[in-house]
């Protein structure tokens, strides 16, 4: 029996309708007595714009739009999907899982559907898990979605977080192949580091929220930790695939802060032109950030067949990971 690999055979993405520039956001926040500026946001983060969901633009709605686009580009019908894995931290309800809700919307009755909760690293985790499941030979394909409506968790009076996030979804279809696609995948986490630096500590209890339901972050601490983690994680997947940084054609990092991305690229020796940047347009969309950036790059022709693409994400947990994928 030849070895089974998984390949990315389709990508898709979805954004809410409402686009909000830094200037517009700063004006809205000023009316609430929160002081910020386009200049601060741009110079500290690279963000110029984000998309914010309306009530009807739920995580499942955005996930479905991205999923249909990815399935269409993969030429796979929803009824032929073996496995649905959704990475999200902002499900529309506590349960059933977003993946099961998506499965119902797609009328994809075959196979299994489940969620992965690894916050910003969720998509990298979801692809790692789906790749491993396809390699077993039990599943022939997988729809993997990263979808988040982080604006629902934002405290609009906290300027240290409210300017950073946006909403969206991205998706890929993985299919079994005799040719390697996912060359290496590595997930990592360190729970001890995570509790105080990035969290949303509240829980549902007695029919209501018990505790703080807002996202809280020590940005500087995350910044410092993220750079080291991502650099080491990239080296790990390159070693696993017996490749060097010179073999990488495109770098699709988690889109949280342009300065973080540039620092990691510099440490790895990757030229700026190889870095896919969408944080400027989308802000930080958590689990959607990598697949949104990936789909943009594919549709803009920046990723061609045969290219080696390094994808990475890091976030609350702390949880992080890297994927090295041949297109
Ligand atoms: O997706 C999960 C992973 N998350 C990340 O990767 C986020 C990582 N962290 C970051 O991206 C950066 O740390 C931030 C963008 C969050 C903050 O940038 P920074 O350069 O670390 O700024 P800082 O927190 O040191 O704040 C500098 C100053 C402070 O004022 P003082 O104390 O120096 O007077 C803040 O109060 O900027 C002030 N500040 C703001 N000013 C205007 C903080 N937020 C704002 C704001 N507008 N929105």
Is residue 198 a contact partner of residue 218, using CB atoms and an 8 Å limit?
yes
Distance 151 CA to ligand 1 centre (A): 18
Q: What is the pLDDT along the chain (327 residues), one digit of tens a residue?
A: 789 999 999 999 999 999 999 999 999 999 999 999 999 999 999 999 999 999 999 999 999 999 999 999 999 999 999 999 999 999 999 999 999 999 999 999 888 999 999 999 999 999 999 999 999 999 999 999 999 999 999 999 999 999 999 999 999 999 999 999 999 999 999 999 888 899 999 999 999 999 999 999 999 999 999 999 999 999 999 999 999 999 999 999 999 999 999 999 999 999 999 999 999 999 999 999 999 999 999 999 999 999 999 999 999 999 999 999 999
Which residue has the CA at smallest separation from atom 43 of ligand 1?
160
Q: 65 Cβ partners below 8 Å, 6+ apart?
A: 12, 14, 169
Ligand 1 binding pocket includes 263 (Cβ within 6 Å): no
Give the three-state DSSP class for 197: coil
pTM of the model as a whole = 0.97
Residues that are catalytic: 120, 254, 284
Ligand 1 binding pocket includes 43 (Cβ within 6 Å): no
- DSSP for 36-96 reads --HHHHHHHH---EEEE--TT--HHHHHHHHHHHHHHHHT--GGG--EEEEE-SS-SSSSS
Q: How far apart are CA 287 and CA 190, in angstroms?
A: 18
Q: 324 Cβ partners below 8 Å, 6+ apart?
A: 182, 183, 184, 185, 237, 238, 240, 241, 243, 248, 308, 309, 310, 311
Residue among 160, 199, 261, 290 whose CB has most ligand 1 atoms within 8 A, to mutate: 160
Which residue has the CA at smallest separation from atom 3 of ligand 1?
315
Which candidate, 220, 166, 214, places its Cα nearest to that of 197? 220
Distance 160 CA to ligand 1 centre (A): 5
Distance 198 CA to ligand 1 centre (A): 13
Query: Which residues, in sequence order, are bridge partners of residue 321?
Result: 187, 313
> Ligand 1, closest atom to CA 316?
2
Strand locations in the chain (E): 5-14, 18-21, 49-52, 83-87, 112-116, 141-149, 167-177, 182-189, 198-199, 203-205, 208-210, 216-217, 250-253, 308-315, 319-326
Distance 217 CA to ligand 1 centre (A): 10
Which residue has the CA at smallest separation from atom 10 of ligand 1?
219
């Amino acid at each position: 029996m030849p070895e089974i690999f998984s390949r990315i055979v389709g990508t898709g993405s979805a954004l809410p309708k409402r686009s909000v520039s830094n200037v517009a956001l700063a004006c809205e926040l000023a009316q609430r007595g929160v002081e910020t500026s386009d200049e601060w946001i741009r110079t500290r983060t690279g963000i110029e714009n984000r998309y914010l969901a309306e009530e009807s633009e739920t995580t499942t709605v955005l996930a479905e739009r991205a999923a249909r686009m990815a399935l269409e580009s993969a030429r796979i019908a929803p009824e032929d999907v073996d496995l649905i894995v959704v990475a999200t931290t902002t499900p529309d309800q506590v349960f059933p899982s977003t993946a099961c809700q998506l499965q119902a919307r797609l009328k994809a009755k075959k196979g299994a559907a489940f969620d992965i909760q690894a916050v910003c690293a969720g998509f990298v985790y979801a692809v790692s898990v789906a790749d491993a499941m396809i390699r077993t030979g039990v599943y022939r394909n997988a729809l993997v979605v990263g979808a988040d409506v982080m604006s629902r968790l934002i405290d609009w009076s906290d300027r240290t977080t409210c300017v950073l996030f946006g909403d969206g979804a991205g998706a890929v279809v993985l299919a079994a192949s005799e040719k390697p696609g996912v060359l290496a995948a590595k997930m990592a986490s360190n729970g001890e580091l995570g509790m105080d630096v990035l969290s949303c500590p509240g829980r549902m209890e007695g029919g209501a929220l018990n505790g703080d339901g807002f996202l809280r972050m020590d940005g500087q601490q995350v910044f410092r930790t993220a750079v080291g983690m991502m650099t080491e994680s990239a080296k790990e997947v390159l070693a696993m695939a017996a490749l060097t940084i010179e073999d990488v054609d495109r770098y699709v990092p988690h889109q949280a802060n342009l300065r973080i991305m540039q620092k990691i690229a510099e440490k790895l020796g990757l030229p700026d032109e190889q870095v896919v940047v969408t944080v400027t347009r989308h802000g930080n969309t958590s689990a959607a950030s990598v697949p949104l950036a990936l789909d943009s790059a594919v549709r803009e022709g920046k990723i061609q067949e045969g290219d080696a693409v390094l994808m990475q994400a890091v976030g609350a947990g702390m949880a992080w990971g890297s994927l090295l994928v041949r297109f």
